Amino acid sequence: QETFNQLETELVELYSSKFNTSLNFQRDWKEVQKKLNNNEVAIEFVRYTKNQNTKYAAYIIKSDISYPIVIKLCNETELNKLIEKKSPNALYTSRGSQAKAVAAGTDLYNLIWKPLESHLNGIETVSYSRVGVLNQIPFTALPDENEVILLAKYNLEQLSSTYLLTQQHTESKLSSNLFIGGVKYDDSTDNTSGKGTRGASSSWNYLEGTLTEVQEIERILQDNQIATTAWIGEQATEQAFKLLTARSPSVIHIATHGFFFENPKEESSNFNPDLTQNSVYKLSEDPLMRSGLILAGANESWKAGSNISMGEDGILTALEISNLDLSKTDLVVLSACETGLGDIDGSEGVFGLQRAFKMAGVKNIIMSLWEVPDAETAEFMNSFYKNWISLGNTKAAFRSTQLEMSNKYKSEPEKWAAFVLFE
């Protein structure tokens, strides 16, 4: 049994490793606690180093406790062995059978969530903040020993920090909306080449499903007397997007290809960027250059491996997004693959598109963790907007959509679990 002082010392150590300060520890958790009802809990996951090993732990804040509960979880090496690579897609699409997928997911559950369960009796809503490689794992899809996924057990709300619970929440509204889809990536684009997934490639194929997706969402909103603006085909330029700065709409929905490259294993100086397709992005030392969105006319520059034009090249990197002012935007929907991924940088969060849009001032983001099937993406998004109009709440609409999709695709979490709502 740890003494109070020992527990306090360890809590401050874990907290400091994430937030680089111990000064506000007492104030922060107590302020969070004041916002919790009896059926709610806040969980802050932390990543720290001890004896040269990177470890994970969680502290649980409940409404009726005198001090947060510290739960030590696992080593990072254990997590990396399970997820095999930086995309959790491996858990669900490359193991060959439902049984193996369930087994892998349950192993993750045992490491990450099972140690917390004894403290969650009577809890309905879990607000949590992730760190490190936990950002790459869809908690909603993790199955317990009885193959019941966490989505069915709890209302899960992902936050950049649980301290956000202390701030007043303003509900996102469908007041001014911009939809981007059916993007024309080069002059040879036609309407017959676009089935499959959205993700990194040697060139970017037209995604027919994104045009259908945007048009259907527009119809849904217009049927409910909600005004919309759409950029289709050649209209969806990088230059036009950058002009949104300081006057961005309340909702921006981007249905296009997205890319994320892991940190290069070899020094970029060993390569000649002029000889390698997209190497200026793939080999960059800056993680914000290795993720982005593909807009109109991008194929020429992408194939060349560098920005070949004097103007914009159609490749909107996370670095460029981070320098925009999108503070008027309540919600960005990234209907593309791997938009939630990025390099893990200690306790500073994930360097990728999610970090970039938050740096630009966006309040909420819907993004994806792996390559997203085109048809099911459109299905998910259509359902989300219908639910949003019906329920009037983004979080409730998102959860309702997840439940609908998970019930329809019970053995295929890759078709719905990729999408996460991040505040």
Element (H, E) at 406: helix 394-408
How high is the pLDDT of residue 230? 93
DSSP 196: S
Does a structural domain hold residue 181? Answer: yes
49 and 118 together in one domain:
yes
The 3-state secondary structure of 212-243 reads HHHHHHHHHHHHCCCCCEEEEECCCCHHHHHC
Taking residue 100's Cβ as centre, other Cβ atoms within 10 Å add up to 13
- CA distance linking residue 84 with residue 79, whole number of Å: 8
Does a structural domain hold residue 172? Answer: no
154 and 34 together in one domain:
yes
How high is the pLDDT of residue 286? 75
How high is the pLDDT of residue 179? 95
140 and 183 together in one domain:
no
| CA dist 40 → 73, 75, 148, 156, 304 (Å) | 21, 28, 20, 10, 52
Sole residue written with tokens 């317990």: 144
370 and 327 together in one domain:
yes
Q: What backbone phi and psi angles, to 5 degrees, belong to 226?
A: -110, 120
How high is the pLDDT of residue 62? 94
Read off the CATH number of the domain in which 407 is found.
Answer: 3.40.50
Q: Which of 302, 278, 292 is nearest to 351 (CA)?
A: 292
DSSP 268: G
Number of domains, the chain: 2
How high is the pLDDT of residue 1? 40
114 and 191 together in one domain:
no
User: Identity (one letter) of the amino acid at 105?
Assistant: G
Tokens at 253, concatenated: 């929905």
How high is the pLDDT of residue 344? 58
Of the residues 121, 147, 166, which one is the last residue of a structural domain?
166
How high is the pLDDT of residue 95? 32
- CA distance linking residue 169 with residue 317, whole number of Å: 29
- Domain ranges, residue 50: 4-166
Taking residue 367's Cβ as centre, other Cβ atoms within 10 Å add up to 23
Element (H, E) at 79: helix 76-83
Tokens at 38, concatenated: 């009896």
Whether 91 contacts 105, CB under 8 Å: yes
Give the tens place of pLDDT for each residue, 2-22: 444 565 566 556 555 554 444
Sole residue written with tokens 């506000």: 24
Helices (H) and strands (E) in the chain, counts: 15, 18
CA of residue 210 relative to chain centroid, distance: 19
How high is the pLDDT of residue 189? 47
Taking residue 266's Cβ as centre, other Cβ atoms within 10 Å add up to 8
How high is the pLDDT of residue 423? 86
124 and 195 together in one domain:
no
278 and 320 together in one domain:
yes
How high is the pLDDT of residue 150? 94
How high is the pLDDT of residue 274? 44
159 and 183 together in one domain:
no
Stated pTM of the model? 0.82
Nearest-10 crossing angle of helices 394-408, 374-391: 140
The sign of the CA dihedral 361, 172, 199, 133 is positive
The sign of the CA dihedral 307, 309, 314, 320 is positive
- CA distance linking residue 261 with residue 338, whole number of Å: 10
Give the tens place of pLDDT for each residue, 35-72: 999 999 999 998 888 888 888 989 899 999 888 888 88
Residue 70 neighbours by CB under 8 Å, 6+ apart: 7, 10, 11, 14, 57, 58, 59
- CA distance linking residue 166 with residue 349, whole number of Å: 20
Residue 201 neighbours by CB under 8 Å, 6+ apart: 257
Sole residue written with tokens 């060959």: 96
Sheet arrangement for strand 291-294: 258-260, 291-294, 315-317
300 and 339 together in one domain:
yes
How high is the pLDDT of residue 107? 85
How high is the pLDDT of residue 272? 47
184 and 121 together in one domain:
no
Per-residue pLDDT tens, the chain, 423 aa: give them.
Answer: 444 456 556 655 655 555 444 445 556 888 899 999 999 999 999 888 888 888 898 989 999 988 888 888 999 998 888 876 534 444 643 233 344 555 577 888 999 999 999 999 999 999 999 888 898 888 999 988 888 999 999 999 998 888 888 887 777 778 889 999 999 998 654 544 555 455 555 678 898 888 989 999 999 999 999 989 999 999 999 999 999 888 889 999 999 988 887 777 644 444 444 445 556 677 677 778 888 899 999 888 887 765 544 458 899 999 999 999 999 999 999 987 656 666 555 444 456 888 899 999 999 999 888 777 778 888 999 999 999 999 999 999 999 999 999 999 887 888 888 899 988
Q: What percent of the chain has pLDDT over 70?
A: 76
Whether 178 contacts 229, CB under 8 Å: yes
